[in-house]
Amino acid sequence: MKKIVIFLLLLMALGGCSSISPSSEKIWEHVKKYEGTKLVKEPNGYYSKYGLSTPRIRDYNKKYKKSYRVQHLTESQAKVIFDRLYYKNYEIYKIKNDRVKLAVVDTIYNQGTTGIKIIQETVNSLSSRRHRIKVDGRFGDETIGRINRISHYKFLRTLRTKRIAYYRTRPHFRKYGRGWIRRVDDVTRT
């Protein structure tokens, strides 16, 4: 048994296995539920699959020396990209509450830098004046530290309000708004 475990660890270290952490796996399943698995042509002419767009895949390929194409992206590849670019890159594992982890990743995955700013605005609206953070769209230790000091219940409710307010300003809200709100409600439910 010990030899099998060592072999599996060695295989994973060498990149022969594309498993991701259990916490990241649960969040991935949520993301996949809302982003879907089909290839989609976006209004800007790019393609996306699993919510990963052509420019995002291009960035990933450059950083990790890969040659993935959105049109041929497998779920296994998409999971690894998600884990590296979102869960690990933003150090989501440092967030203490699992529901908050899910809401934070979903916000960043769905709204990018704007989502990070919405998260930072949420933190500031729940913090005293002297504990506010800079709303700069950069997600790091300061933002994570503040998130961990706030009641998860208050954080999730305020994040919900701010995300929905943002969506209401979007030009396609009439067409997609109900789905967007359903997604936000799903991740911010306490």
Closest by alpha carbon to 30, among 93, 98, 120, 123? 98
pLDDT digits (tens, 9 = 90+) for 91-130: 999 999 999 999 999 999 999 999 999 999 999 999 999 9
Delimit the domains of the chain by residue range.
18-88, 95-188
pLDDT of residue 23: 84
Q: Could you tell me which residues come within 8 angstroms of residue 187 by beta carbon, excluding any fewer than 6 positions away?
A: 30, 99, 102, 103, 106, 107
> DSSP readout, 113-181?
HHHHHHHHHHHHHTS-GGG----SS--SHHHHHHHHHS-HHHHHHHHHHHHHHHHHTSTTHHHHHHHHH
Round to whole Å and give the CA distance between 129 and 39: 45
Percent of the chain with pLDDT over 70: 90
Query: Which run of H or of E encompasses 75?
Result: helix 75-82
pLDDT of residue 9: 44
